Chain A
Amino acid sequence: MATSHEHDELLVQEDQFYHEYWGDGFHEHHHGDKYQSNFITHYLFSQDHKMIAKQFLITGMFWGIIGGLMSLVFRLQLGFPEENMAWLKPILGKWITVNDGIGSLDPDFYYALVTMHGTILVFFVLTAGLSGTFSNLLIPLQLGARDMASPLLNMLSYWFFFLAGAIMFASLFLNTGPFAGGWTAYPPLSAVPEAMSGSKAGMTLWAVSLVFFVVSVLLGGINYITTVLNLRTKGMSLWRMPLTIWAFFVTAILGLLSFPVLVSAILLVVFDRSLGTSFFLNEIYIGGQAMEQVGGSPILYQHLFWFLGHPEVYIIILPAMGLVSEVLSVNSRKPIFGYQAMVLSILAIAFLSFIVWAHHMFMAGVNPFISNIFVIFTLIIAVPSAVKVFNWIATLYGGNIRFTSAMLFAIGFVSMFISGGLTGIFLGNSAIDIPMHDTYFVVAHFHIVMGVAAFFGMFAGIYHWFPKMYGRFMNDTLGKVHFWGTFVGAYMVFWPMHYMGMAGVPRRYYDFTTFDFSSYFVDTNKFITIAAIITFGFQLIFVVNFFYSIFFGKKMTDKNPWKSTTLDWTTPIKGIHGNWPHAIPEVHRWAYDYGKDGKDFIPQTEPMTEEEKAEAHH
């Protein structure tokens, strides 16, 4: 343990380090000058992690609204196939086909909407919007770093994301429509332009967009990992990091290891499309012609895709889990239960997520023997997932719970994760997956466990850290209305889909009445569509609340409004470049000393007492 003299010296050294590191900018700031005065460098090409976080968040929200609206349009078609949709013609133009005076969605465009919805929500909203926002915001703040290891790469990460989004957006206006072969983009459908209208230029733009997106993820990920490994403040050992940071850290590693494989898969598809290779093509007769490309395997693509695809679902959910762990603990005024087990289960889930990918391919025509192995690993993943759930529940036990908007969403997250995780156990068992695969049961599973749960984690994070971002609070009443409406609504939308799946109704169907076995659900589909519209309406409350509160929300007067132990709440109310006006605080304990020794909370910066030290040495 450093004496106080040594300690001062250390701080000085640190300041010198940052002086060299940041150049004069940081130094100037020290003397009270404005570091960044230029509008462009402040709001657009900012290298400040807090600003970049906001950029990710607001871009993510933009995409969330677009993706959500798309789902409403195709839900209208599913729920009310007989209703006239001609009123959408001013917006959708030729994609509304009018028959006998009744306008309906063109099937090609229906599939385009479904595909865009999936791609946008999975990649742009729940990957970039969630992990991008909170990794950027919290990693430096909670670790005690002035900024990310490389602010420049960080800025580039956002702008590559922006570029990816711009390209995807442009594809919406193509004459042949955006890509329509599902977010998984299985070839040959995606690799043969003749196979579908959306597989023409739409697929090309989809591919280019996603490649840029992966560049963004990788730049961000390298940065997050480096920052976590190298820029932790004094005393912040790995085992003292809040679970948020653990989650972002492991998420970044997952992304770094899996996203490149997606790029390779996409590039090979592009080669097949335009260079005449046949990585994924074999013995195809299409458009009145036998294609010359033979010898490839469409199944190979699925292996590559799901090698990313499965880790990707954890890339989405781990940050949400991290945020929820933090919010639950702070608002229960209790340490997160089983911190070590939580970290270990994040690590276990991350590791296992690389060896379960073929559970998406039980029915794809792979050797059934191989599936045995994937069943075993898949069901093993349920164990650490269960441990996390039990630990969250145990965190509530004996707490003194404050129901902030963030807390409500965190509790909602746990409920959703239970409901959706349990259906994973059905699907992970290949035998049960035979009837369930590619039915609405799967749609219910992943929307609840990933879609809704991750959104809840994100909302929890936004409500909780909004004051950190903007120095103001979001309106609490509206937040709670938003929560209850969304919570009830989301179950209304997705719960009935389980039954449709049990009846065998396949997913990605434009119309359910062709088949007798799926036509039973006319009323169900109406119900779901109405519930979806209402649930979407509740999101508008959030959007209004968000933007209103940025400018007019209740001002934050206390640096640490939630009475948190973590470092993010030791920075000034008005965020400054470099985060702390003076030396970076030192950390002396883990992040979860809530309710210890009769104290409501003990900040991480508070040195340990002699007794505590003695105990720690035990």
Chain B
Amino acid sequence: MTILIGILILIILGVIIVQVGKINELAAKLRGEKKARRDNNESNARLMLVFMVLFLVFCVGSAWYYKNMMLGYGPHESASLHGVELDYLFNVTLFFTGIVFVATQILLFWFAFRYREQEGRKALYMPHDNKLELIWTGIPAIVMSILVVYGLAAWNDTMADVDTKELVTGFVNAETIGKDSTYIEVEATGMQFLWVLRHPGRDGKLGERDYTLINSANPVGQVWTDPKNIDDFHMDELILPVGQKVRVRITSRDVLHNFDLPHFRVKMDAVPGFPTYFVFTPTLTTEQYRENLSRYPEWNVPADPEDPTGPKRWETFEYELACAELCGKSHYSMKKIVKIVSPEEYNEWLASMEHTSQYLREVRNKVGDPFLGRKLLIEKNIADYEKAKEEAEKTAPEPAPAPEGEPANPGDETDTEETEVEVESEEGSTETNESSDSQ
């Protein structure tokens, strides 16, 4: 029925369209074909001009309307070192192309209007003009060369991988922050449909993996005989220290994905079997970014329109990790929160996370644990951390320092895990710390 009505409507529309066309043709006949054609030509010529003006207004107006999306200034600023450079390059390109855009569009529509058919005028016979053509081949060539030179400089800067002399670190400190010679490494594995984020632990080194070992307890196929895997833990959120160079090892366990951090201008495909890398340095903590946002009226509205007294938009801002390569049905929902914190917070968080090591949770002291019966440094570290935390709690009424208001791990789970680990490490703490996990 609906289909029938739809068809009927279409037919009626068609008839109307035909009639409109016919009426105009008839009217033209009445007015005299020649005059009608001339009038028609005139009005289309004028429309060209009108369009030109409206179009340029629309371009400028829309840019103003979306000024918050502009790269490099306003609230949409880059939170990484290289991103600033890329934004700058974007704007340099925008400048040059903007000039060309406005000039050519104006000339196009202006000429169309200016040289509309007029009785008695003869068109200019101008088949070519070598000088003009040389100029307008030369200028784009020069501009392109400039853009290429700047572009490639920025590109090779940005994409430079760490070199073998550089040191990888777990905890960060004044020696590592802002130094090109030290970096931390984390791993992002795409799968349908989420990102598995792996932190290398305090040794800073990611353990080996083998895709045939993947199962639900071992989502990225860590090889448990590799001691580097002992302290690797998985993160619910990507947490990184500000100012520290980080190398993200990007890979996939099924189809292509793309590791996309829009605020950091980071993007790289995740390819099964071929790890890729992106090296960048976050420059603004989440807090700092929020503060910057708080300066803009658009960000000073309630985050939830239903709740006018609730937190403002800028207060709830989070960096996000997305997927930017079509990977299947739920491609659009591979979200993780990214948090950039101060180095102190980062170290504290790292220490507090050690007991969540995938190895400790899933393999330790179970059948197949390759280090069964051996003492592990990580267990001593965890015990030390717990002890220090307890002491701090005794002396100060406040709990041990943690990123404000945000426990590194959701409450319940953390508690039970902690006690489990403590039991184990109490035995270990009496022994000397001979361990397979020291690097």
A397–B115 contact, CB under 8 A?
yes
* Set of chain A residues within 8 Å of B58, measured between Cβ atoms: 491, 495
User: Which chain A positions have C-beta within 8 A of B136?
Assistant: 386-387, 390
Chain A residues closer than 8 Å to B47, beta-carbon distance? 484
Q: Decide: A411 and B260 in contact? CB cutoff 8 A.
A: no
Contacts A368-B155, A387-B137, A399-B115 given; does A393 touch B89 at CB 8 Å:
no
Q: A284-B211, A495-B62, A515-B322 are in contact. Are A90 and B331 (CB under 8 A)?
A: no
Q: Cβ of B331 and Cβ of A508 under 8 Å apart?
A: yes
Given contacts A284-B253, A429-B151, contact A337 B126 (CB under 8 A): yes
Residues of A within 8 A of B112 (CB): 396, 401, 403, 411
- Number of A-B residue pairs, CB cutoff 8 Å, is 363
- A430 contacts the other chain (Cβ, under 8 Å)? yes
CB of A556 within 8 Å of the partner chain: no
Query: Judging by beta carbons under 8 Å apart, are B156 and A365 in contact?
Result: no
Q: Which of A334, A393, A430, A495 contacts B108 (CB 8 A)?
A: A393
Chain B positions within 8 Å of A90 at CB level: 2-3
Tell me if B320 counts as interface (CB < 8 A to partner A): yes
Residue ID in chain B nearest A340 by CB atoms: B128
Given A196-B329, A363-B258, A397-B111, also A334-B21 (CB < 8 A): no
- Stretch in A38-46, A128-136, A182-190 touching the partner: A182-190
Q: Is A447 an interface residue (CB 8 A)?
A: no
Number of A positions contacting B (CB below 8 A):
124
Residues of A within 8 A of B97 (CB): 422-423, 425-426
Closest-CB distance, A448 to chain B (whole angstroms): 12
Whether B17 is near chain A, meaning CB under 8 Å from some CB there, is yes
State whether the Cβ of B118 lies closer than 8 Å to any Cβ in chain A.
yes
- Chain B residue at minimal CB-CB distance from A426: B93
Task: Assess whether A12 is interfacial by the CB under 8 Å rule.
Answer: no
Instruction: Confirm or deny: B121 has a beta carbon within 8 angstroms of a beta carbon on chain A.
Output: yes
| B385: Cβ under 8 A from any A Cβ | no
Residues in B neighbouring A408, C-beta threshold 8 A: 44
Q: Which residue of B lies closest to A499 (CB)?
A: B66
Quick check: B123 and A400 within 8 Å, CB to CB? yes
Residues in chain B near residue A192, CB distance under 8 A: 254-255
Q: Which of B123, B132, B155 contacts A430 (CB 8 A)?
A: B155
Pick from A382, A506, A520: contact of B323, CB below 8 A.
Answer: A506
CB within 8 Å for A503 and B262 given contacts A382-B144, A510-B332: yes
User: Does residue B265 face the partner (Cβ distance < 8 Å to A)?
Assistant: yes
Q: Which residue of the partner chain, among A286, A397, A517, contacts B320 with CB atoms under 8 Å?
A: A517
Given A363-B269, A426-B97, verify A399-B124 contact (CB < 8 Å).
yes
Q: Which residue of B lies closest to A391 (CB)?
A: B133
- Minimal beta-carbon separation of A162 from chain B (angstroms): 25
Known contacts A432-B151, A517-B320, A540 near B13 by CB under 8 Å: yes
Contacts of A294 in B (CB 8 A): 273
Task: Check A111 for interface membership: any CB of B closer than 8 A.
Answer: yes
Of the residues A107, A188, A364, A394, contact of B255 by C-beta under 8 Å: A188
- Determine the distance from Cα of A426 to Cα of B100 in the docked complex, in whole angstroms: 14
The residue from A382, A477, A516 contacting B20, defined by CB atoms under 8 A apart? A477
Q: Is the CB of A506 within 8 A of B322?
A: yes
Known: A372-B156, A431-B154. Contact between A285 and B254, CB under 8 A? yes
Q: Bound state CA distance, A325 and B331, in angstroms?
A: 42
Partner of A517, one of B71, B262, B326: B262
B257-280: CB near A (< 8 Å → 1, else 0) gives 010101101111101111010000
Binary contact track B45-57/A, C-beta < 8 Å → 1, others 0? 1011001000100
In the bound complex, what is the Cα–Cα distance between A520 and B55 (angstroms)?
Answer: 24
A389 near B104: Cβ-Cβ < 8 Å: yes
Q: In the complex, what distance in Å separates the CA atom of A91 from the CA atom of B260?
A: 36
Q: Which of A107, A335, A371 contacts B155 (CB 8 A)?
A: A371
Decide if B324 is an interface residue (CB 8 Å cutoff).
Answer: yes
Which of chain B's residues 80-110 have a Cβ closer than 8 Å to chain A? 83, 85-86, 89-90, 93-94, 97, 100-101, 104-105, 107-109
- For the complex, is A305 an interface residue (Cβ under 8 Å from B)? no
Q: Is A25 an interface residue (CB 8 A)?
A: no
- B154 near A195 with CB under 8 A, answer no
| Contact between chains at A434 and B332 (CB < 8 Å) | no
Q: Does A525 contact B (CB under 8 A)?
A: no
The answer on a CB contact under 8 Å between A480 and B44 is: yes
In the complex, which residues 294-327 of chain B have their Cβ closer than 8 Å to any Cβ of chain A?
A: 316-318, 320, 322-327
C-alpha gap A439/B158 in the complex (Å): 20
| Closest A residue by C-beta to B135 | A390
- Per-residue B-contact encoding for A285-317, CB less than 8 Å = 1, 0 else: 110001000100111000000000000000000
Q: Given A399-B115, A491-B58, A592-B127, are A554 and B107 also a contact pair (CB < 8 Å)?
A: no
Cβ of A265 under 8 Å from chain B:
no
* A192 and B268 alpha carbons, distance in the complex (Å): 22
With a cutoff of 8 Å between Cβ atoms, the chain B residues found around residue A386 in the complex are: 100, 136-137, 140
The answer to whether A540 and B271 touch (CB under 8 A), given A393-B104, A431-B151, is: no
B19 → chain A closest CB, angstroms? 10
* Pairwise interchain contact B121-A400, C-beta atoms closer than 8 A: yes
> Is the beta-carbon distance between B256 and A432 smaller than 8 angstroms?
no
B364 interfacial by beta-carbon distance below 8 Å: no
- Given contacts A189-B326, A334-B125, A435-B262, whether A401 and B18 have CB atoms under 8 Å apart is no
Please give, as numbers and ranges, the residues of chain B lying within 8 Å of A414 by CB-CB distance. 108
On chain A, the residues within 8 Å of B272 by CB distance are 188, 281-284, 298
Name the one of B62, B108, B133 contacting A496, with C-beta atoms under 8 angstroms.
B62
Q: Are A299 and B274 in contact (CB under 8 A)?
A: yes
Interface residue ranges of B225-278 to A (CB < 8 Å): 253-256, 258, 260, 262-263, 265-269, 271-274, 276
Closest to B330 in A: A107
Q: Give the distance in Å from the alpha carbon of A269 to the alpha carbon of B317 in the complex.
A: 43
Contact among B125, B133, B268, B331 for A387, CB-based, below 8 A: B133
Question: A438-B258, A548-B18 in contact; A332/B115 too (CB < 8 A)?
Answer: yes
Query: In this complex, what residue of A is CB-closest to B161?
Result: A368
User: How long is the Cα–Cα vector from A509 to B328 in the complex, in angstroms?
Assistant: 10
A376 close to B2 (CB less than 8 A): no
Flag B2-22 by CB within 8 Å of A: 1 or 0 each: 110000001001100110111
From A284, A495, A598, name the one whose CB has the most chain B CB atoms within 10 angstroms: A284
Most buried by A among B51, B68, B256: B256
Q: Are the CB atoms of B101 and A422 closer together than 8 Å? A: yes
Asked if B400 CB lies within 8 Å of chain A CBs, one says no
Q: Check if A87 is an interface residue, CB within 8 A of chain B.
A: yes
Is B423 an interface residue, CB under 8 A from the partner? Answer: no
Q: CB distance B273 to A282 under 8 Å? A: yes
Q: CB-defined interface of A152-181 with B at 8 Å, one 1/0 digit per residue?
A: 000000000000000000000000000001
A430→B109 CA distance, assembly (Å): 32
A515 to chain B, nearest CB (A): 5
Complex Cα distance, B47 from A411, in Å, reads 12
Is A339 on the interface with B (CB-CB < 8 A)? yes
A58 contacts the other chain (CB 8 A): no
Contacts of B208 in A (CB 8 A): none
Assuming A393-B111, A596-B125, is B140 touching A508 (CB within 8 A)?
Answer: no
Q: Does B40 contact A (CB under 8 A)?
A: yes
In the complex, whether A571 has a CB less than 8 A from a CB of chain B is no
Chain A residues closer than 8 Å to B262, beta-carbon distance: 435, 503-504, 517
For B100, list chain A residues within 8 Å (CB).
Answer: 386, 418, 422
Pick 7 A–B contacts, CB within 8 A, sort by A: A189-B326, A299-B271, A399-B111, A400-B118, A423-B97, A431-B152, A491-B55
Give 5 nearest A-B pairs by CB, closest first.
A504-B262, A282-B273, A398-B124, A368-B159, A475-B21
Q: Which residues of B contact A (CB under 8 A)?
A: 2-3, 10, 13-14, 17-18, 20-22, 24-25, 40-41, 44-45, 47-48, 51, 55, 58-59, 62-63, 66, 68-71, 76, 83, 85-86, 89-90, 93-94, 97, 100-101, 104-105, 107-109, 111-112, 115-118, 121-129, 132-133, 136-137, 140-141, 144, 147-148, 151-152, 154-156, 158-160, 191-192, 211-212, 214, 221, 253-256, 258, 260, 262-263, 265-269, 271-274, 276, 316-318, 320, 322-333, 335
Task: Give 4 new A-B contacts, CB below 8 A, not counting A400-B122, A418-B100.
Answer: A402-B41, A403-B116, A418-B101, A502-B71
